[in-house]
Every structure is written in C-alpha cells, then in structure tokens.
C-alpha cells in the first residue's frame, strides 16, 4: 500500500472519507412540556442545571421554553430544567 492520499473519483483532489459523527439525542419529557404549556402567560421560577431563572412563559416548543423578564427573552432547553414553580 502506498502513502499517497486517495483521490476523489470525480476530480483530481485528495479524498478523505468522512468519520461517523456522534448524534446526541435528548428524549422529550412530555409531562414537562404539558406543564409549561399550561403555564403560558404566567410567571414561573425555573431551576436549571445552570441556575435559577424567573419570568413569564411566552412560548413552549418541544425542546425549549421562552421566558420573558423585563423585556428580555430567555430560551431554556427543556432537558436542562430540574423543576418548575409557578410564582
């Protein structure tokens, strides 16, 4: 076997096969999503793995929730929520 790189079959450029990429899958916690949907328009306190946030729940998606506090929006991944407390 030689030490030369493989050449791409359709061009004269070196070809490096791609390495498989790891895919991270976070399961969706439907109970948390449903609880957050029921709290749209209300102020809540969220404890996350990074700390505590409070604000009004303005939008809920399958993977994140949007809180608004003092005209600033925070996008919080649902997988990072530890607990929720309505204020």
- Per-residue b/e over 23-59, b at no fewer than 16 CB within 10 Å? eeeeeeeeebbebbeebeeeebebebeeeebebebee
Share of the chain above pLDDT 70, in %: 72
CA distance 76 to 6: 45
Which residues, other chains included, contact 27 with Cβ-Cβ below 8 Å and sequence gap of 6+?
Answer: none
What pTM does this model have? 0.68
24 against 83, higher pLDDT: 83
Question: What is the band of 79 on the pLDDT scale with cuts at 50, 70, 90?
Answer: very high
Q: What are phi and psi of 30, to 5 degrees?
A: -60, -30
- Token code pair at residue 65: 């929730």
Q: What is the pLDDT of residue 47?
A: 96
Express each pLDDT in 18-54 by its tens digit.
Answer: 777 776 666 778 899 999 999 999 999 999 999 999 9
């Amino acid at each position: 076997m030689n030490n030369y790189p493989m050449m791409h079959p359709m061009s004269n450029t070196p070809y490096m096969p791609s390495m498989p990429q790891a895919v991270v899958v976070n399961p969706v916690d439907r109970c948390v999503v449903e609880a957050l949907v029921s709290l749209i328009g209300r102020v809540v306190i969220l404890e996350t793995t990074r700390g505590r946030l409070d604000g009004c729940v303005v939008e809920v998606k399958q993977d994140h929730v949007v809180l608004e506090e003092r005209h600033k929006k925070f996008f919080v991944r649902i997988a990072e929520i530890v607990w929720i407390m309505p204020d």
